[in-house]
Amino acid sequence: MNPVSSRPLSWLLSYLRPHLARFFLLVGVLIGLTGLELSLPYLIKEGIDRSVVPALKGTLTPGAALHQLGLLGAVYVSLLLLIFGLNYLLFYQLQWIGQHIMARIRRDLLHHLLSLPVPFLDSQPIGRLVTRATNDVAALNELYATIAPVVFKDVLLILGISGILLSMNVRLFLVLVVLVPALATLSYLFQKEVRQAYLDVRKHLARLNAFVQEHLSGLEVLQAFRAEPHSFQQFQDINRDLYQAYHRQIALFSLFRPTISFFPTLATALILWVGGGEVLRQALTFGALVAFLDYVKKLFTPIQDLAEKFNIYQSAIAASQRLHALMRVTPERVGGRRPEPFHGRITFDHVWFAYEEERWVLQDISFTLEPGQVIALVGPTGTGKSTLVSLLLGFRTPQRGEILVDGIPLRELDLSWWRSQIGWVSQESLLFEEDWTRNITLFSSFSEKEIQDLIHQLDLHILDQEGLASGEKQMLSLARVFLFRRRILILDEATSHMDSLTEARLDRALDTLFQGRTGLIIAHRLSTLKRADRILVMDRGRIVESGTHESLLQQNGLYAMYCRLHFGRIAV
């Protein structure tokens, strides 16, 4: 991956560097191409002044004139063919470079996104990051493959044509000096408005897409609560906004298209008038007037082009700045210490944590999980159990206190190594749009036998179907930790969506799994709680009770009350 330079421009150029030789070659082709295009009207001038006019005046025989014109025509067609070939080469090669760079930026971007610390994603809507990876990268392609070369060529054309026109006739050139800046300004303003209108359309379109997708996915809830009319009302607003945005775009086009095309027509009329006079005064040849008209036509396209490209250029620069800023976000740290030998003793030493400043979610948490021991965490919703797990996995860092692994602070530990010691079942079953085997193996390769054993052990055959029940999704998440056989297990409500019977069937498998392993389990089921060597009871971010199931019942505190509510007196 390219090291990300601190300046957006040098970062952009770093992607161009491998293509520099080819790029400069193409710049050479571009200069040649511009020269060829400029020579075409000149050929017409030559044809008229050296063959047609002398033949009309009688200073050249019609036969000789025709012969000369034939030759000139052949040269003209050959040049056109050459221009065609060079244009093809140029377009293809520039786009090739652009696409190549885009693929590399996307690769680096995704590599970088995957290495970002989890809290970064809290502050960024995922949708926005997706836009970075798609739209903003595409905008950069414009910069490399279209804007830079087109602008270069246009500037060359404008300079070349201006020079030729000036050398042909000063008066006619002055006509253009008045018209061209007016056209350039008008085009620029027009393009600016059009671009804004275009962005508005895109914004409203994206809103509409998101709305339709969300409301169709939630169709069952909408229908069940009879909320479709309200949903539809909301849609009407979004739809109206989109309609108005399109309307504004069309209105702009309808006004400015004819205005812009008025300029070349006006120029032609003026040149015909002033130029005709010049021909009559014999200050200009007839061929030169025809060539002049041709050059003027060629002049207006690049001017409009430049105005348009300038606006695109501005948004491409904005896109590149956004991408660059994203690329500069510090990734999660790599490397660090590893305890040797590794036992797996985990200590929370007066740990405090808040997602937002001073709103403590965890307060003064202290406990030690000995190797081979299993600790269960219980406590009301929102009390910070999953947060504690997130801290233990190193996704988030406590503001106060320390988490230690075999005496080494977690903040100094090699995180990638540490996580490879842990088998974690998250509270929400996170599944990918893949078949269930890949969802369990998480794209790593396991032997066919290992997978077959797992299927047998957990009876996974039921999952051979489209669409999964939430309990079945949990089963897949749980299956991962069976397959990965890590030394430390963290189960966050891993079986909460399963019925007691299914869970009971899993009991034996879970017993085998926990044998000789260290475990932290968050659960509300009695069977799971009984498996724990120690139970920590949490309330509002604090550990309020700690002990075995029996000792906690004897204490007759929060845990005892909790058990009475959950399992009734009989179970207790």
The residues of the shown chain that bind ligand ATP, judged by CB under 6 A, are 122, 355, 361, 381-387, 427
Q: Which is nearer to ligand ATP, 381 or 515 (CB)?
A: 381
Counting residues that bind Mg ion (by CB under 5 A) gives: 3
Q: Which is nearer to ligand ATP, 273 or 355 (CB)?
A: 355
Note the residue count of the chain: 572
Does 426 contact Mg ion by CB under 5 A? no
The one-letter amino acid at 412: E
Cβ burial 127-145 (10 Å sphere, 16+ → b, else e): eebeebbeebbebbbbbbb
Between residues 26 and 362, which has the closer beta carbon with respect to ligand ATP?
362
Report which of 331, 303, 25, 89 is spatially closest to residue 190, judged by C-alpha positions: 303
CB of 428 to Mg ion, least distance (A): 9
* Cβ-contact 355, 386 below 8 angstroms: no
Calculate the alpha carbon distances from 193 to 183, 244, 315, 327, 572 in Å.
15, 15, 13, 31, 73
Q: Which does 232 bind (CB under 5 to 8 A by kind): ligand ATP, Mg ion, none?
A: none
State yes or no: residue 496 binds Mg ion (CB under 5 A): no
DSSP string, 397-419: --SEEEEEETTEEGGGB-HHHHH
Contacts (CB under 5 A) with Mg ion, residues 43-72: none
> Residue 544 Cβ, how far from ligand ATP at the closest point, in Å?
13
Query: For residues 308 and 187, is the Cβ–Cβ distance under 8 A?
Result: yes
Closer of 373 and 386 to ligand ATP (Cβ): 386
Partner touching 321 among ligand ATP, Mg ion, none, CB below 5 to 8 Å by kind = none
Closer CB to ligand ATP, residue 275 or residue 384?
A: 384
Rule CB under 5 A: which of 155-174 touch Mg ion? none
Taking CB under 5 A as the binding criterion, the range among 282-290, 319-327, 423-431, 446-454 that sits at the site for Mg ion is 423-431
Q: Which does 382 bind (CB under 5 to 8 A by kind): Mg ion, ligand ATP, none?
A: ligand ATP
Distances (CA, A) of 330 to 8, 117, 227, 307, 563: 16, 8, 44, 38, 46
Shortest distance (Å) from residue 384 CB to Mg ion: 8
Would you count residue 386 as binding Mg ion (CB under 5 A)? yes
Residue 233, contacted partner among Mg ion, ligand ATP, none, CB below 5-8 A by kind? none
Residues 344/488, Cβ–Cβ less than 8 Å? yes
Contacts to Mg ion from residues 248-267, by CB under 5 A: none
Could you tell which of ligand ATP, Mg ion, none binds residue 387, using a CB distance below 5 to 8 A set by kind?
ligand ATP
Task: Identify which of residues 385 and 549 has a Cβ nearer to ligand ATP in the complex.
Answer: 385
Judged by CB under 5 A, which stretch of 231-239, 350-358, 381-389, 393-401 contacts Mg ion? 381-389
Rounded to a whole number of angstroms, the minimum distance from the CB of residue 505 to Mg ion is 25
As a whole number of angstroms, the distance between CA 400 and CA 288 comes to 83
Using the minimum distance from each CB to ligand ATP, give the nearer residue, 260 or 365. 365
Kindly tell me which of 378 and 488 has the beta carbon lying closer to Mg ion.
378
Q: Which does 122 bind (CB under 5 to 8 A by kind): ligand ATP, Mg ion, none?
A: ligand ATP
Token pair 């403590």: residue: 360
Tell me: does residue 427 bind Mg ion (CB under 5 A): yes
For residue 365, the minimal CB distance to ligand ATP (Å) is 12
Give the single-character DSSP code of 135. I
Should residue 548 be labelled a site residue for Mg ion when binding is judged by CB under 5 A? no
* Secondary structure in 3-state letters for 76-109: HHHHHHHHHHHHHHHHHHHHHHHHHHHHHHHHHH
| Cβ at position 386, least distance to Mg ion in Å | 3
41 vs 541 by CB, closer to ligand ATP: 541
* Cβ-contact 526, 564 below 8 angstroms: no
Secondary structure (DSSP) of 45-86: HHHIIIIIHHHHHTSS-HHHHHHHHHHHHHHHHHHHHHHHHH
Strand order in the sheet with 346-354: 360-369, 346-354, 400-405, 408-409
Which residues face 347 on adjacent strands? 368, 404
Site residues (CB under 5 A) for Mg ion? 385-386, 427
